[in-house]
Amino acid sequence: MTQPPHDEPTASSPEELREQVEQTRTELGETVEALAAKTDVKARAQEKAAEVKEQAAAKAGELKE
């Protein structure tokens, strides 16, 4: 497994390195969360069903007017 080239320069101090590590952890956490949401088929289906239900109710309301 290879690592992509780094866009940021190497940390010049331990504190700067800690900040970079924390930023990377945050980004990784967000990525994992997004991937987990994509794999939750049941939740995605429920969200889609709720969206369609709202659209149908809105359309029914328009037609009644």
Q: Check residue 19 and give its pLDDT.
A: 94
User: Nearest-5° angle of CA 65, CA 51, CA 45?
Assistant: 150
Task: Classify residue 20 by burial, with Cβ atoms within 10 Å: 0-12, 13-18, 19+.
Answer: middle
Distance, CA of 12 to CA of 16 (rounded, Å) = 7
Distance, CA of 47 to CA of 12 (rounded, Å) = 46
Tokens of 49: 């069903």
Q: Check residue 61 and give its pLDDT.
A: 87
Q: Check residue 65 and give its pLDDT.
A: 80
pLDDT tens digits along 29-42: 999 999 998 888 88
Asked if 37 and 47 count as a contact pair (C-beta separation under 8 A), the reply is no
From first to last of its 65 residues, the chain has per-residue pLDDT tens of 566 666 666 778 999 999 999 999 999 999 999 999 888 888 889 999 999 999 999 988 888 88
